[in-house]
Structure 1
């Protein structure tokens, strides 16, 4: 497993971050088996959220023995200070910890929600207050959809966040406008030493009329060779971290791919993958 400084936090994080959305509907036994897999593969960073079903409850029992083994991140989807602080209280209780290493304003893309979170009495104030009180060490912002990188640029004009998170895969980067906003965001993050987290590495597209196969809300790649190309494509961009898949059954193949020497697939190889897998952009 490769490791990289997580922005200016001082934490040297595994390039693959465990995305605990995969724990939204699993048993504690399944979660504990995943813990062993994470430790065996050198994963030292967990990313969860209050909104991820039972995920925080599944991670909480690990913290008594393994709190120092992981950089622990969670998120709030609340937009006001009062509501966000209440969610933080719940997250700390569910995770059985006194503090979070990273607390993130979740899915902050909608313009009105963004305004509410950033203004007086908003969620950003909650995060700043929580940091002063030692309840969180660092503050991040996350986003889904086609506007996420653009909105993150606006967020970074308001506050010096420690991390950002947005969708990043080959199909998304074929959208010229999206790719340009990503390029601008990466430049700002490089200049300010802001950690860059990415999601949806294994997205094949929407389920549409297909029967849902995985716990991910989107259709995911499932062949080992296809997963390897998708993972290698993301990790070959040295600035970014890859937040893992939302399905525990796909996780072993993702980790296997990440454990190999990182070589960026050629454009011809990625185009062949798109054709063979029938891939489409998840966000348009």
Structure 2
């Protein structure tokens, strides 16, 4: 089984490994069913999907309808206006076959112009606050990719008291001094406010480049169990964060296996082992 940690101020004990349901974007229902059975066998109790993840919400729907109380359920929207976000919310509730979300997130909010729209008059934030007041969602969050994510999340938290953030975190990205500084400043703010911190790209080897594309992830992932063990344990060793699994159903069993065997080891040893894997940064 996989250990649980307090998911920020929500009162939920979430498995430290959260299911990144983008993995279900392009699979059939039978594959989704097998994936969900696997998650349950490891005790995973937190699902993160998005309106933009292909068939993911539709594939999750039958399971949420039957097992709603077993999962902390999160989804996202990339809509930046009140009307667009509200439309996405009702579509997500319908596809997920539920009357409420545990966490609704503004997805990939890293573009300054999009940020101004989302937080301005008639913006997505108005739909988010309204949905929380109506009991359609319990908690609100913001997500981001790229090296600007940490800085933008701090800006978002200055404007609204979100309950959760999500951004990249892996050995290669933390070698970037600017990203490392922004990440650490964001972590300090989140710890002070008890905001949950979700992380992505744990198992990224680097850009695909000339490599043959052998996985559904948009980056080249680590694929050997020993490599995944090191990458997963490097992330999970940090207290107070969560690892959202890569978007590939074939990699998922290895990631869950690694997480189930996690014990805090030496940071220096994990750094040395990660450096030996020579991961490449995904973003300049």
Instruction: Give the TM-score taking structure 1 as reference length.
Output: 0.97
**What SS is found at the alignment partner of 1:125?**
helix
Please name the residue that 1:12 is paired with.
13
SS at match of 1:13: strand
Query: Match of 2:37?
Result: 36
Aligned to 1:250: 251
- Checking the alignment, whether the CA contact within 8 Å between 1:201 and 1:231 is kept in structure 2 is yes
Q: Which residue of 1 aligns with 2:55?
A: 54
SS of the aligned residue for 2:9 comes to coil
| Structure 1: 5+ residue stretches without partners | none
RMSD of aligned alpha carbons: 1.1
Residue deviations 1:65-109, cap 9 Å, x none? 100000000000000000000011110111111110000000000
1:206 aligns with 2:204: no
Report if the CA contact (8 A) 1:205-1:282 is conserved: yes
Structure 2 unmatched ranges of 5 or more: none
Per the normalisation by structure 2, the TM-score is 0.97
Q: How does 1:1-284 map to 2 (within 5 A)?
A: 1-264=2-265, 266-267=267-268, 269-276=270-277, 278-284=278-284
For residues 158 and 22 of structure 2, what CA distance do their matches in structure 1 show?
29
SS of structure 1 residue aligned to 2:212:
coil
Kindly indicate whether the alpha-carbon contact (under 8 Å) linking 2:169 and 2:235 is maintained by their aligned counterparts in 1.
yes
Q: Measure, in 2, the Cα distance between the counterparts of 1:264 and 1:30.
A: 35
Tell me by how many angstroms 1:207 deviates: 0.4
Give the secondary-structure state (helix, strand or coil) at the position aligned to 1:232. helix
Cα deviation for residue 262 of structure 1 reads 2.1
* Contact 1:92 1:98 survives alignment (8 Å): yes
Distance 1:266 1:11, change over 3 A: closer
Distance 2:258 2:252 in 1: 10
Question: Structure 1 residue runs of 4+, over 6 Å off?
Answer: none
- CA 1:272–1:238: 2 relative to 1, 3 Å: closer
Cα distance, 1:215 vs structure 2? 0.3
Residues 234, 270 of structure 2: 8 Å contact kept: no
Q: Provide the C-alpha distance between the structure 1 equivalents of 2:19 and 2:138, rounded to a whole number of angstroms.
A: 19
Q: Tell me the alpha carbon deviations over residues 234-261 of structure 1, each in whole angstroms, 9 at most, x when there is no partner.
A: 0000110000111010111111111113
Residues 205, 280 of structure 2: 8 Å contact kept? yes
Question: How many residues are matched?
Answer: 283
